[in-house]
Amino acid sequence: MDKYEIISKIESFAPPQTAQEWDCCGFAIETKKSDISKIMLCLTPSDNVIAQAMALNCDMIISHHPMFKIDCKSVFLTEFYSPKIDIYCAHTNMDLAQGGTTDTLVEALNLDIESIASFEFVRFVELKQSVSIDAFTKILRRVSPNLRYTNNNEQKTIKKIGFCAGSGSEFIPLAQEYGADCFVTGDLKFHTALESKIVVYDIGHFESEILILPKIKELIPSGVEVVFAKEQSPFLI
């Protein structure tokens, strides 16, 4: 199948023009070939993931994270350094999309929701009934067994929850202003946790975003083989 037809399906769902100005969405590596028969989906196009894709004879990698610094030898393997595999990423445009990374996280938790409000990268969920901190922690452990959280005011229950998949601690003040009882994200720093006036859960950057890959698979037309990269969080517990 033509690679641009495949990408058009993804971009209809997550328009690239909605990405942040600093972001590197789109083709990180673009080959001259157009026909794609096998795609690897990944969160991050690391050296290891690229090696996996090439070992499995994939024609393209579609990732959520942009391409970070890698060893070019793992991508450019022909005599004249002509790229052999396309690499495309949908990052902040996928975060902002309705049904994107944060919405997928919320869906995975199967909460009893009264209403949802969207503020760019953040989703505010109001539950039909308040739940205890312990009960909500158990729900979050379905997607992140090794989460951590801060509860500076010894809050007992929560009803209004802010969510931002990935690294979203910068939105904690927004959650406080909106009247949220807690905020769920990844990459929580010490002083941010110390100063928070609401409960904040750090469920991990990897754990909060890896859920988007099956959703991306749904966007890829039938007739193209799709495989998932073997990835895990870089943090060991």
- The DSSP line for 18-51 is GS-TT---EEEE--S--B--EEEEESS--HHHHH
The residue type at 146: N
Q: Are residues 132 and 41 in the same domain?
A: no
Q: CB–CB of 51/32 below 8 Å?
A: no
Average pLDDT score over the chain: 93
What average pLDDT does range 95-101 have in this prediction? 96
The residue type at 99: G
pLDDT at 77 over 50: no
pLDDT at 12 over 50: yes
On the 0-12 / 13-18 / 19+ scale of CB atoms within 10 A, 227 is: middle
Q: Confidence band (pLDDT; 50, 70, 90) for 83?
A: confident
**Would you say residue 48 lies in a domain?**
yes
Q: Are residues 81 and 108 in the same domain?
A: no
What average pLDDT does range 48-67 have in this prediction? 94
Q: Confidence band (pLDDT; 50, 70, 90) for 84?
A: confident
**Would you say residue 222 lies in a domain?**
no
**Would you say residue 200 lies in a domain?**
yes
Which pLDDT value is given to residue 160?
Answer: 98
**Would you say residue 133 lies in a domain?**
yes
pLDDT at 81 over 70: no
Q: Are residues 169 and 135 in the same domain?
A: yes
pTM confidence score: 0.91
CATH number reported for the structural domain that contains residue 111 in this entry: 3.40.1390.30
Q: Are residues 51 and 112 in the same domain?
A: no
Q: Confidence band (pLDDT; 50, 70, 90) for 218?
A: very high
**Would you say residue 234 lies in a domain?**
no
Of residues 179 and 237, more confidently modeled: 179
Q: Are residues 198 and 167 in the same domain?
A: yes
Q: Are residues 35 and 81 in the same domain?
A: yes
Q: State which residues form the domain around 82.
A: 3-94
Q: Which of 38, 65, 94 is the last residue of a domain?
A: 94
Q: Confidence band (pLDDT; 50, 70, 90) for 80?
A: very low
**Would you say residue 230 lies in a domain?**
no
**Would you say residue 223 lies in a domain?**
no
* DSSP conformational letter for 2: B
- Structurally, the chain folds into a number of domains equal to 2
Percent of the chain with pLDDT over 70: 94
What average pLDDT does range 94-109 have in this prediction? 97
Q: Are residues 115 and 85 in the same domain?
A: no
Q: Are residues 48 and 121 in the same domain?
A: no
Length of the chain: 237
Q: Are residues 85 and 113 in the same domain?
A: no
